[in-house]
Amino acid sequence: MAADFDLVVRNGTVIDGSGSEPREADVAVRDGRIAAVGRVDGIGREEIDAKGLAVTPGFVDIHTHYDGQVTWDDRFTPSSGHGVTTVLMGNCGVGFAPCRPQDRDTLIKVMEGVEDIPELVMREGVPWNWQSFPEYLDALDARRCDIDFATQVPHAPLRVFVMGQRGVDREPATAEDMGAMASIVEEGLSAGALGFTTSRSLFHRTSEGALTPTITAAEEELTAIARGMGRIGKGVIQLLDDFQDTTADGATEFAMLRRLAKLSGRPLSFTLLDISLYPGRWKTLLREVEQANRDGLPIRGQVAARPVAILYGLELSFHPFSTCPSYHDVADLPLAQKLVRLRDPALRMRLLAEEPTYRNPQMLAFMRSVGNMFVLGDPPNYTPAADQRLDARAAVLGISPLELAYNLLVSGDGRTILFHPGANYTDCSDANMGRMLRHEHTVMALGDGGAHYGLICDASYTTHALTYWTRDRKGERWPLAWTVQQLTDVPAQTIGLGDRGRLAADYRADINVIDLDRLSVAAPHPVHNLPGGGRRLEQKAEGYRATIVAGEVTYRDGAFTGALPGRLVRGARARPS
């Protein structure tokens, strides 16, 4: 008997992404699209029994940095292991296109410094078979991957492409420069880029410690690009900003965001954080966002679903002693030999006494803020109690937090990971983060997959959102249907991909089948599977019974099936009629 459908997921609890209550239903798929949701009498060429399991749309992560990884790898790990079926790359103004051959070293230094991608990995892995942005899209168009991917035109390579060394040195752009940049952005959007991105954060520095090319770009330069986007009526704007001028009374820098959104007529989103050093800033910014939307300006804050943290360890990119002079002699030793040396009392004494040096002062201060760190643990605890912070534990032991950090790093097998929440966990509380996430004008994001290979592993935030906020949190928990909507329909609509994010007829057949009772995330661990043997953090999940992309099962019980239905997504997509 001939099959009626390519795939039928039967008897599951369907959470369709619209925010509607879960219901028992089947989901039928034909030709990569959802053919029916409800009682399906026809048979599928392949069938999945989802009795007792949740059936959701595939998750959409709109803040990633897979721009390099997509050129050498056909799998978007770790994101694709956490139910993500579409990612958007090219965020924060950094990337690999457009780029002339003579500027490759510059972009490598930017990506190494900003995104913690080792130079060797990029030299070995990135093929550089493009110069213009449309040529980069053509190169991506040839890729076959486990999930769908889209990208944006990043400001840093754009500025270097147009201005050369003047752009690297952050000189003011001329009228001719600005016109050229606007034209290239228009060209990129016309070729299929989903937006334009930039960074104005002092944390963003090259591997040599210099500020990245975009940090001090004048508003006039961004205005020229915004006008270009307005001319063709395409694309979104994304940026990272420190908002240093923000007070309880207002935000001058945010006023610029309003002007960019108004001039371009395009949606704009920015990274929204609750940073303990700047208490209350997030409230001011949310008030500004509310007013902007009342004024008809579509501006959203991108908010992480768990504390934004850096991970430190002897096998990772940094730890509190990694930039001390005496550490340089042991830095490249195998872990077992490194532990022997670090356990030597004389070396321990020197490292505890030395002042570290590093080319990025913001990062240096952060990695030496030892008292604010925790042990991550396995399973990882992303919301630890205040009495588990190293300053509290050290006080009980009668030693300094720095000593405790040293002892923890060299204990056991040397694989202890220290967890340093720099944002969204003020006073060891998730309350402010929850308020930001529940706001009508924010979007859950900031997975950062494909970057920060030895510093951050937040691509698993999708799994954390479902486990922590809807099942395990002490106190108020969120409705499952609402959380699924924040992982699917809301981010998809934010970037203009209206053809996904819901389980309904004619939508793209991106689907997760999940055992919510078993859903969990393991501790991140380093693996050496990047080009040139480079290291990155991997993080596994349990409970995803199947992940389906364009109607093909790509993962079963966490195991890759070998299917590669993922493709480059060019341009915005309308909702099915």
Amino acid 454: pLDDT: 93
DSSP labels, 128-195: ---SSHHHHHHHHHT--BSSEEE--EEHHHHHHHHHTHHHHTTPPPPHHHHHHHHHHHHHHHHHT--E
Report the number of secondary-structure helices (H) and strands (E) in the chain.
19, 25
Alpha carbon 367 to its chain's center:
21
Position 203 pLDDT exceeds 90: no
Q: What is 60-306+426-494's CATH number?
A: 3.20.20.140
Number of other residues whose CB lies within 10 A of the CB of residue 48: 22
Question: How many whole angstroms separate alpha carbon 533 and alpha carbon 124?
Answer: 10
Domain ranges across the chain: 60-306+426-494, 312-423
Position 251 pLDDT exceeds 80: no
Amino acid 279: pLDDT: 87
With beta carbons less than 8 A apart as the criterion, state whether 526 and 314 touch: no
Binned at pLDDT 50, 70 and 90, residue 489 comes out as: very high
Binned at pLDDT 50, 70 and 90, residue 522 comes out as: very high
- With 0-12 / 13-18 / 19 or more C-beta atoms within 10 angstroms meaning exposed / middle / buried, residue 354 is middle
Amino acid 358: pLDDT: 87
DSSP labels, 324-357: SGGGGGTTTS-HHHHHHHHTSHHHHHHHHHPPP-
pLDDT tens-place string over residues 123-160: 999 999 999 999 999 999 999 999 999 999 999 999 99
Question: How many whole angstroms separate alpha carbon 416 and alpha carbon 524?
Answer: 11
Higher-pLDDT residue of 373 and 207 is 373
Position 205 pLDDT exceeds 90: no
pLDDT tens-place string over residues 44-77: 999 999 999 999 999 999 999 999 999 999 999 9
Amino acid 1: pLDDT: 66
Binned at pLDDT 50, 70 and 90, residue 2 comes out as: confident
Mean pLDDT for 540-563 is 98
Residue 208 phi/psi, 5-degree rounding, is: -95, 0
Question: How many whole angstroms separate alpha carbon 12 and alpha carbon 50?
Answer: 4
- Asked, as a colleague might, if the bond just before 379 is cis with ω within 30 of 0, I would say yes
* Beta-bridge partners for 23: 14
With beta carbons less than 8 A apart as the criterion, state whether 316 and 417 touch: yes
Tell the residue number behind the tokens 């954390």, with chain if given: 464
In 318-469, which ranges are continuous DSSP H helix?
A: 335-342, 345-353, 361-367, 390-397, 401-410, 431-437, 461-464
Position 338 pLDDT exceeds 70: yes
Strands 268-271 and 418-423: unpaired
Could you give the C-alpha distances from 222 to 45, 257, 282, in angstroms and in order?
A: 52, 10, 24
Question: How many whole angstroms separate alpha carbon 70 and alpha carbon 108?
Answer: 16
- Asked, as a colleague might, if the bond just before 345 is cis with ω within 30 of 0, I would say no
Query: Is 282 in a helix, a strand, or coil?
Result: helix
With beta carbons less than 8 A apart as the criterion, state whether 95 and 156 touch: yes
Task: Describe the crossing of helices 104-115 and 155-163 by its angle, rounded to 10 degrees.
Answer: 150
Structure tokens at 378: 């396995």
Mean pLDDT for 167-181 is 97
* Beta-bridge partners for 148: 86
How many Cα atoms sit within 13 Å of 59 on the Cβ side?
30
Position 471 pLDDT exceeds 90: yes
